[in-house]
A = this chain, B = another copy of it.
């Protein structure tokens, strides 16, 4: 049965690119209040697509932008159910002058489709939609039950996703969540991402004198909030770049020998990676490789700092107020709330009573790791190898996807992340693109995935 589907996909390549271009013409920028009609059009386009394929589909209103929920319907026999997650909203265009073709006039050149959303996430979401359409067209059915949840608020942090999930919990019941919103491992190798870090984001504000004071007249008489802030931040890590917050590492999962070996075996281009960052050297927690630090070790970073005189030249003030934004990326099995509190305790302990402190928490999100040995994970890996002709790398990400632990909590399902797009696809920058071959390989992968997942069960 899969052979006929793959043959159909081959025959439909032109139409598929055309379909993607249709989708990409909708300027569904979720951050922009003036694009509300385009957001609506985006949801309607997705909804119509599903109805055309013969799925049931609804545009579900949320507290913000609507979400599209679709379903192939109950299947004959006992087949697994996959919930495919994606988003039809896109990032803003940014500086138009940096684009070589208009962001919402999709253009195919150099073997890629250029447009805002080409990779993130319209193009990648569409691979699965087209695979389902093909199965339905060729066989009238899909070998597994497929549900879709295509939201319109991913680029603004999915503020209403949890409410939708909880409200439609039974309707969305599934064995796996699958999504393509992460990149390939490198230009030639697709990736199955099985873990993301959690994040805790803090802001420390220190208040000293009631207003900026003259550093000559008052220097040496009162605490300088700038010096105190530096001291507090410096106290949070040691010379080995290990976080010094008491208990910070208590629950960090040790890397298994198998994972360590698998990471060490990755063809990771350290020099190329460093060159891309522009930093003079790679650096991080002592005793771990770059990828280990990136994927499986927790980190603590200053994200911003501000205080006192920041103009050109010299102004001799003791700042009245300084602030730093500091965030941590956490890993299994660190408990976000526990680490959040440990951070606060450590910062309060480091802060002298000679300044006043305000401590804010902007985000607390859990880390996520999916089991590597589930039938779903194996089917995803095998489907990718079939779709791309190259075995995928199983990767983790240093970034945070709060929806993954949410899916697990609300639906009890683990997530399979299949990365089809180029790692440097400019997802949030100018000239965002999705390789035409990657697009088609992604569709094949998705079609194969349904087939292999059904076989595995």
Contacts and interface: CB of A to CB of B under 8 A. Distances in A.
A221 B273 contact: yes
A317 B303 CA distance: 5
Contacts of A294: 217-221
A345 interface: no
B327 A316 contact: yes
B304 A362 contact: no
Contacts of A283: 221-223, 352, 354
Interface in A216-255: 216-224, 226-227, 229-235, 237
B226 A277 contact: no
A279 interface: yes
A216 to B, nearest CB: 3
B234 A282 contact: no
A438 to B, nearest CB: 20
Contact of A219 (B273, B314, B329): B329
A356 interface: yes
Interface residues of A, number: 83
Interface in A73-105: none
A355 B277 CA distance: 12
Scoring A197, A278, A282 by chain B CB atoms within 10 A of each residue's CB, the highest score goes to A278
Given A197-B216, A307-B304, A316-B327, A279 B234 contact: no
A219 B322 contact: no
A280 B353 contact: yes
B219 A278 contact: no
Contacts of A398: 214-221
B215 A314 contact: no
Contact of A355 (B237, B279, B320): B279
Contact of A302 (B227, B284, B285): B227
Interface stretch (A42-50, A204-212, A414-422): A204-212
Given A216-B329, A305-B307, A314-B201, A353 B293 contact: no
B281 A223 contact: yes
A281 B226 contact: no
A279 B228 CA distance: 13
A201 to B, nearest CB: 4
A72 B301 CA distance: 66
A352 B201 CA distance: 26
Nearest to A226: B302
Nearest to A210: B278
B222 A284 contact: yes
Contact of A277 (B203, B209, B399): B209
A363 B215 CA distance: 14
Interface in A293-335: 293-294, 297, 299-310, 313-320, 322-325, 327, 329
Interface of A: 196-197, 199, 201, 203, 208-211, 213-224, 226-227, 229-235, 237, 273-274, 277-285, 290, 293-294, 297, 299-310, 313-320, 322-325, 327, 329, 352-356, 362-363, 397-400
List the 5 shortest-distance A-B pairs measured between CB atoms, nearest first.
A210-B278, A226-B302, A216-B399, A230-B233, A304-B308
